[in-house]
């Protein structure tokens, strides 16, 4: 084990997880090299620019600059590394199983550059049970002189949320490590010591929450750690789908889902978090991870009806937004609809599996004229959603002007704080569909539709 507390770390993959991890570990005092095969990202990072939007990350990057290096060359980072953390993507294949191609490629490149001393290869990407053992075999097959090399493979699933990645990385509820190697676990205890003991000065803008308990250090087998990540995400997706299912019944029996979840969540066995009704879950993880778990079940001829129902409820929930619009506007052909928010949640530009995509696609199929706004995701959408021909607005007010309806898709604070009096006054028809249940009193002649609530305001 290296004598100094500061370790040399290589982080493979500089996406949402890899970047947050690299910058956080450098802030804690480790020397970190971020490796990515995407040279555009590496060039940007070398210039001190971030390829993604994540609040606070730019400041922490600059504060930790002296301990951060960026490269596309494995040979420049792996031989020196005490710990190698793999954070490459695991996107879904059409059959729901994750595509493990990037994991395999990264493992081969790591293997070819191992130094023969004890190194720990950590997998932070979300991968099906058994992947850690498979990666070990790839290392065995590809390391130049296997017998001279010593290494441990550890699963260390990541639980950060985009939009609050720094907070989640610095103040995690738990650190989960799965491995058969005690030596590997001990090196990671050293890597995370400052986090575990909360022995660091919180960076500006990311304060330590009052009364924070130290993170739990959870050690398990490799397989259990891999399962923990999927089971955690599946449970959170389930909680949202449950709230949405109850919301549908609330609308029918004239109860109010906001009052209901408030009442349920105070039960400490249940809790408020993720018990929220809305346009359905989205983002890079929930759809892919629920699909992966169901697909693993299918491999073992094991049905997962609860999880399947959560997925079905979510699909239905996304259709609900357009049905609500049709209830008021009837034919959508030629109607101008403003969509506020593209990303699946505020404070991120990640568009993967965003409910706004399905909503805009359906609106366009029905002949609506769609105009969109998002505070940070417009450029990303230009790249990733070039198949959708909506109009872009330079501000929320511009989007709303002349619209027959507004759909609030993402609960950005900016939309919450709009001067709604002014905004609805500029509309052709005053109809607001708030898919996040965040708007309160709108001008009295506005129809405000929310999810799982009796009509909040009626047309006069």
Closest CA to 342 of 280, 401, 395, 408: 408
Identify whether the C-beta of residue 8 lies closer than 8 Å to the C-beta of residue 190.
no
Identify the active-site residue in 87, 250, 285, 359: 285
CA distance to 105, 292, 307, 418, 446, per residue, from 131 (Å):
13, 13, 22, 47, 53
Question: How many Cα atoms occupy the beta-carbon half-sphere of 221 within 13 Å?
Answer: 7
Rounded CA separation 81/280 (Å): 41
Check residue 167 for interaction with ligand NAD (CB under 6 A).
no
Check residue 160 for interaction with ligand NAD (CB under 6 A).
yes
How far apart are CB 11 and ligand NAD at their closest, in Å? 9
* Member of 7, 9, 13, 432 binding ligand NAD (CB under 6 A): 13
Rounded CA separation 164/170 (Å): 10
Token pair recorded at residue 30:
């480790």
* Member of 8, 11, 14, 34 binding ligand NAD (CB under 6 A): 14
11-19, 202-210, 316-324, 442-450 -> range binding ligand NAD (CB under 6 A): 11-19
Rounded CA separation 8/14 (Å): 17
Q: Is residue 71 a known part of a binding site? A: no
* Member of 169, 241, 284, 380 binding ligand NAD (CB under 6 A): 284
Contacts of 383 (CB under 8 A, 6+ apart): none
* Residues 194-253 contacting ligand NAD, CB under 6 A: none
Distance of CA 39 to the CA centre of its chain: 23
81-89, 136-144, 174-182, 372-380 -> range binding ligand NAD (CB under 6 A): 81-89
* Member of 90, 179, 435, 457 binding ligand NAD (CB under 6 A): 90
How far apart are CB 58 and ligand NAD at their closest, in Å? 17
Neighbours of 207 (CB within 10 A): 12
| 285 counts as catalytic | yes
Check residue 88 for interaction with ligand NAD (CB under 6 A).
yes
How far apart are CB 112 and ligand NAD at their closest, in Å? 12
How far apart are CB 88 and ligand NAD at their closest, in Å? 4
* Member of 158, 245, 251, 434 binding ligand NAD (CB under 6 A): 158
Check residue 102 for interaction with ligand NAD (CB under 6 A).
yes
What is the 3-class SS of 403-449, one letter each residue? CCEEEECCCCHHHHCCCHHHHHHCCCCCEEEECCCCCCCCCCCCEEE
Identify whether the C-beta of residue 112 lies closer than 8 Å to the C-beta of residue 105.
no
What is the set of active-site residues? 285
Q: What are the residues binding ligand NAD (CB under 6 A)?
A: 12-18, 35-38, 41, 87-90, 102, 105-106, 125-126, 158, 160, 162, 284-285
């Amino acid at each position: 084990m290296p004598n100094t507390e500061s370790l040399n770390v290589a982080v493979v993959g500089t996406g949402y997880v890899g970047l947050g991890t690299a910058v956080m570990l450098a802030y804690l005092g480790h020397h970190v090299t971020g490796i990515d095969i995407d040279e555009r990202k590496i060039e940007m990072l070398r210039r001190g620019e971030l390829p993604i939007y994540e609040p606070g990350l730019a400041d922490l990057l600059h504060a930790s600059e002296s301990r951060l290096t960026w490269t596309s060359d494995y040979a420049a980072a792996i031989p020196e590394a005490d710990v190698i953390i793999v954070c490459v993507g695991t996107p879904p294949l059409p059959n729901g199983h994750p595509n493990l191609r990037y994991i395999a490629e990264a493992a081969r490149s790591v293997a070819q550059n191992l130094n023969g001393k004890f190194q720990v290869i950590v997998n932070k990407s979300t991968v099906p049970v058994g992947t850690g053992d498979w990666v070990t075999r790839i290392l065995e097959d590809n390391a130049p002189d296997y017998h001279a090399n010593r290494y441990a493979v550890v699963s260390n699933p990541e639980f950060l949320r985009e939009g609050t990645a720094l907070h989640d990385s610095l103040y995690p509820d738990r650190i989960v490590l799965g491995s058969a190697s005690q030596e590997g676990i001990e090196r990671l205890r050293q890597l995370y010591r400052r986090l575990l003991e909360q022995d660091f000065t919180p960076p500006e803008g990311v304060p330590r929450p009052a009364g924070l308990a130290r993170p739990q250090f959870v050690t398990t087998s490799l397989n259990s750690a891999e399962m923990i990540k999927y089971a955690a995400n599946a449970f959170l997706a389930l909680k949202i789908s449950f709230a949405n299912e109850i919301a549908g019944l609330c609308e029918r029996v004239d109860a109010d889902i906001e009052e209901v979840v408030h009442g349920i969540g105070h039960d400490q066995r249940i809790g408020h978090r993720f018990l929220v009704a809305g346009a359905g879950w989205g983002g890079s993880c929930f759809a892919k991870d629920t699909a992966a778990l169901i697909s693993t079940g299918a491999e073992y001829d094991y049905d997962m009806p609860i999880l399947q129902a959560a997925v079905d409820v979510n699909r239905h929930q996304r259709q609900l937004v357009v049905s609500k619009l049709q209830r008021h506007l009837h034919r959508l052909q030629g109607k101008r609809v403003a969509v506020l928010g593209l990303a699946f949640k505020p404070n991120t530009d990640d568009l993967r599996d965003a409910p706004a995509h399905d909503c805009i696609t359906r609106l366009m199929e029905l002949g609506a004229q769609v105009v969109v706004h998002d505070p940070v995701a417009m450029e990303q959408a230009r790249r990733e959603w070039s198949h959708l021909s909506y109009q872009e607005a330079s501000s929320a007010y511009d989007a709303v002007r002349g619209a027959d309806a507004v759909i609030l898709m993402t609960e950005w604070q900016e939309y919450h704080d709009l001067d709604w009096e002014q905004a609805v006054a500029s509309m052709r028809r005053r109809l607001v569909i708030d898919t996040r249940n965040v708007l309160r009193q709108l001008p009295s002649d506005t129809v405000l539709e929310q999810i799982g609530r009796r009509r909040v305001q009626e047309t006069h």
